[in-house]
């Protein structure tokens, strides 16, 4: 099989589009505020996304699921449900830039989980990156220097549980095609959210439903653009571009919602992205050599 040719400029453009789509998601959810319960908002968003993925879901139902995969799909659906609800709750209560910056901890959680659960190597380069990323998170949150709200705790929880969900997705990717994984995620989250959304249901307007449908469209487009970016260029090229998402989120919060620009959030976000980019670059260099170095050989 021929290797797909790398197109770094196109990869960067796809990643720029990814960031814009996800910032649009954040902006719409922030605009909706807490007029709707987080459980209800999340349910409507995923129900709308499920409609978009109906063709893929029909195909899944016709072919059937791989043997033994249903329990794994259920586990991921449950984890993702918790993470989504926490994220919606946080988005209504803390600035968009802070939600975005704290969300950058996802790759760190995935790295730690991959080592603990899948037995992947935990070389010094990874430990350094994780330590620096934690410093970045502390710069964003500044515990002890300011009052932290339940929104901050909620987004931290969302970051951790999203990371756990992505670890399960890694396991699913070994037994099912990507389209099946995405379609089943939407189905499982919608089903998991339904009974809880009914318990807290409040009257919803057409405008609110339309806004949450747009969230589904932008989120789906964002994941598509991200997939295209990874296909066009290595993550060492596309990963640093994700920092622009924090810049756009800060501008959006400032211009549309009057949120103060917090330089500590930008600095902390940059530190986290720097750590992730360093780890990604080192992994790429090592994989290119085809040699897994010992811990003592990874000093930089």
The string of DSSP codes covering 170-191 is HHHTTTS-HHHHHHHHHHHHHH
Q: What is the mean pLDDT of the chain?
A: 84
Q: Is residue 2 part of a domain?
A: no
- What local confidence, expressed as pLDDT, does residue 75 receive? 94
Can you tell me the mean pLDDT for 225-250? 79
Residues near 269 by beta carbon (within 8 Å), at least 6 away in sequence:
97, 100, 101, 104, 136, 140, 243, 246
- Measured CA to CA, the distance from residue 234 to residue 93 in angstroms comes to 35
Residues of the domain holding 277: 8-291
List Cα–Cα distances, 51 to 132, 187, 230, 289, in angstroms: 41, 10, 26, 44
For the chain, the domain total comes to 1
pLDDT greater at residue 105 or residue 288: 105
User: Tokens 């991921």 appear where?
Assistant: 76
* Higher-scoring residue by pLDDT: 180, 267: 267
Evaluate whether residue 1 is within a structural domain: no
Residue 104 has pLDDT above 90, yes or no: no
pLDDT confidence of 210, banded at 50, 70, 90? very high
Does residue 73 sit within a domain? Answer: yes
Q: How far apart are CA 103 and CA 206, in angstroms?
A: 30
Between 233 and 274, residue with greater pLDDT? 274
pLDDT at 10: 87
Distance CA 243, CA 270 (A): 7
What's the pLDDT at 4? 53
- pLDDT value, residue 291: 42
122 has a pLDDT exceeding 70: no
Q: What is the mean pLDDT of residues 109-122?
A: 77
Burial class (CB in 10 A: 0-12, 13-18, 19+), 292: exposed
- When mean pLDDT is compared across 95-109, 112-126, 277-291, the lowest value belongs to 277-291
Is residue 300 domain-resident? no
Q: What pLDDT does 278 receive?
A: 80
- Find the Cα–Cα–Cα–Cα dihedral 161, 162, 163, 168, rounded to 10°: 90
| pLDDT confidence band for 200 (50 / 70 / 90) | very high
């Amino acid at each position: 099989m021929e290797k797909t040719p790398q197109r770094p400029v196109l990869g960067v453009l796809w990643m720029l589009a990814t960031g814009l789509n996800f910032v649009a998601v954040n902006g719409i959810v922030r605009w909706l505020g807490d007029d709707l319960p987080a459980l209800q908002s999340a349910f409507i968003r995923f129900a709308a996304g499920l409609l978009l993925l109906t063709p893929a879901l029909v195909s899944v139902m016709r072919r059937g699921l791989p043997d033994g995969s249903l329990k794994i799909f259920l586990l991921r659906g449950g984890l993702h449900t918790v993470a989504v609800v926490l994220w919606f709750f946080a988005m209504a209560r803390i600035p968009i830039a802070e939600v975005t910056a704290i969300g950058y901890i996802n790759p760190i959680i995935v790295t730690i989980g991959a080592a603990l659960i899948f037995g992947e190597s935990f070389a010094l380069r990874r430990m350094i990156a994780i330590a620096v990323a934690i410093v970045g998170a502390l710069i964003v949150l500044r515990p002890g220097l300011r009052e932290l709200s339940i929104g901050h705790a909620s987004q931290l929880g969302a970051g951790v549980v999203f990371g756990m969900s992505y670890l399960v997705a890694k396991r699913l990717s070994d037994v099912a095609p990507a389209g099946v994984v995405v379609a089943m995620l939407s189905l499982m989250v919608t089903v998991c959210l339904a009974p809880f959304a009914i318990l807290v249901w409040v009257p919803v307007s057409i405008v609110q439903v339309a806004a949450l449908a747009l969230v589904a469209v932008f989120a789906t487009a964002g994941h598509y653009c991200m997939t295209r970016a990874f296909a066009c260029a290595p993550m060492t090229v596309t990963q640093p571009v994700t920092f622009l998402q924090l810049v756009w989120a800060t501008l959006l919060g400032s211009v549309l919602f009057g949120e103060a620009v917090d330089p500590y959030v930008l600095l902390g976000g940059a530190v986290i992205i720097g750590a992730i980019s360093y780890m990604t670059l080192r992994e790429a260099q090592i994989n290119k050599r085809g040699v897994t170095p010992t811990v003592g050989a990874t000093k930089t």
